[in-house]
Amino acid sequence: MTELRIRVVPEIAGVAGSAWDACANPHPGNLAAFESGVVPPQSEPIENDAAQRKPEPLCQERCYNPFISHAFLNALEVSGSATARAGWQPQHLLLESAEGGLVGALPCYLKSHSRGEYVFDHGWADAYERAGGRYYPKLQTSVPFTPVPGRRLLVVPGRGAEERERALAAGLVELCRLHAASSAHVTFATRAEWQLLGAQGFLQRTDQQFHWRNAGYGSFDDFLSVLAARKRKAIRRERRDAVAAGIEVHWLRSRKWGRPYLTRKFYSLIGRTMADRIILVLAKRNGRFIAGAINFIGSDALYGRHWGAIEHHPFLHFELCYYQAIEYAIVHRLARVEAGAQGEHKLARGYLPVTTYSAHHVADQGLRRAIADYLVRERAYVEAAGRELAEAAPFRKDMRMPDLELDAPASCLREDR
């Protein structure tokens, strides 16, 4: 068995961005180096390392998820959004080889509340504390404030990947013990990670989101052609009404989006460090911008995240957040659009239910038994609700619905699995 060491860092700025991203978003160059035994070393901490690195071109990526990148997570911490004062104390796990190279990482936070997670455990906390227990602190492995599915056990694919993933899972359990935390939660993980964590004794939970899948459409009209006539007419009417008041829609790339529309420090930081990963969809009327939606660009997905407006116009939210995202994905040949958590209203607009996965280590055996019993019923409900919602999809009955199994894309899966 390979000798591995785990240590914890209190801020991601203490990790070289190149070393973190080699684990989080490996591309062919990283993988070739790793397979040859040349693992990118962890260098000494560099202030604003993410800002100094030039982003890798999209064409070089194996699979890129912007939310687990060093630049995004660092911006959350530097801006004060994910810090101990905000109830998100970074406790990132680093998995290192005997030579000191970083071979795995796990974004982790010690939490004093359950806000900003989107996998709700408030009921668990209330019940445990009514019974005399102390639910907080707890550990949370996730992307703060962002319900985006993706990898959480960040290891480079290839030889020994599963061993390294198991080591990270074991390290998380040990960190839970050292902090005397009630539990450790890994949320919005991939299905493969969910299964591995289940085999490690974590409780398994499911939920749903609504995603749009690209079936190779050449245009938005191609997408509309596979919908039932009534749904097709409704979408065309919504899009027409959304811009009826003389509204123009613009796609903006690069740094200019960041001023003056989004001025908080976090957005300023990602505007500098992730400019090529962001697309802002803006609505303009009478010479001024009145609404906008921010999207992050992955190697195979567009991630819609935040929206705001200073004027109300019917269906403008749907146009900027859903329909324009579909158009962008078609033009840029992205496989899917993920528009965030919840929202059954997305179904009528071509966004279909997909299963999301989380895994939970619970230290107290009494609380663990109660939660395990609850999760059996909840998983059955989520599965039944997904089937029912899928039957209400807007697609024509003679059309085959896109494959909606949610997991890491095939190009991101471990090669030894």
Q: In 10 A of CB 306, how many CB atoms?
A: 15
Within 13 Å of residue 222, how many CA atoms lie on the same side as its CB? Answer: 11
User: What pLDDT score was predicted for residue 157?
Assistant: 84
CA-to-CA separations, 198 to 125, 147, 202, in angstroms, rounded? 22, 21, 5
Instruction: Give the whole-angstrom CA distance, residue 135 versus residue 362.
Output: 10
List the structure tokens of 279: 């697309």
Confidence of residue 402 (pLDDT cuts 50, 70, 90): low
pLDDT digits (tens, 9 = 90+) for 171-206: 999 999 999 999 999 999 999 999 999 999 999 999
Contact predicate 18/25, CB 8 Å? no
SS3 (DSSP) at 179: coil
Instruction: Give the whole-angstrom CA distance, residue 326 versus residue 251.
Output: 13
User: What pLDDT score was predicted for residue 341?
Assistant: 79
List the structure tokens of 347: 């179904």
Confidence of residue 292 (pLDDT cuts 50, 70, 90): very high
Confidence of residue 46 (pLDDT cuts 50, 70, 90): very low
Instruction: Give the whole-angstrom CA distance, residue 149 versus residue 143.
Output: 9
Instruction: Give the whole-angstrom CA distance, residue 264 versus residue 79.
Output: 8
Confidence of residue 1 (pLDDT cuts 50, 70, 90): low
Weakest-pLDDT range from 25-29, 66-70, 127-131, 281-285: 25-29
Q: Which domains does the chain have, with CATH numbers?
A: 4-208+356-384 (3.40.630.30), 212-354 (3.40.630.30)
Write out the E strands in 183-257.
183-189, 203-213, 248-252
Contact predicate 202/360, CB 8 Å? yes
Instruction: Give the whole-angstrom CA distance, residue 391 versus residue 221.
Output: 23
Instruction: Give the whole-angstrom CA distance, residue 70 versus residue 159.
Output: 24
Confidence of residue 401 (pLDDT cuts 50, 70, 90): low
Q: In 10 A of CB 379, how many CB atoms?
A: 15
pLDDT above 80: residue 39:
no
Instruction: Give the whole-angstrom CA distance, residue 5 versus residue 102.
Output: 10
CA-to-CA separations, 388 to 92, 178, 380, 385, in angstroms, rounded? 39, 44, 12, 5
pLDDT digits (tens, 9 = 90+) for 89-144: 999 999 999 999 999 999 999 999 999 999 999 999 999 999 999 999 999 999 99
Instruction: Give the whole-angstrom CA distance, residue 21 versus residue 18.
Output: 5
pLDDT digits (tens, 9 = 90+) for 230-277: 999 999 999 999 999 999 999 998 644 444 433 368 988 998 899 999
Within 13 Å of residue 381, how many CA atoms lie on the same side as its CB? Answer: 7
Instruction: Give the whole-angstrom CA distance, residue 215 versus residue 208.
Output: 21
User: What pLDDT score was predicted for residue 404?
Assistant: 54
Label residues 226-263 b or e (16+ Cβ within 10 Å = b). Answer: bbeeebbeebeebbeebbeeebebeebeeeebbeebbe
Write out the E strands in 59-100.
88-90, 92-97
Contact predicate 104/23, CB 8 Å? yes
SS3 (DSSP) at 381: helix
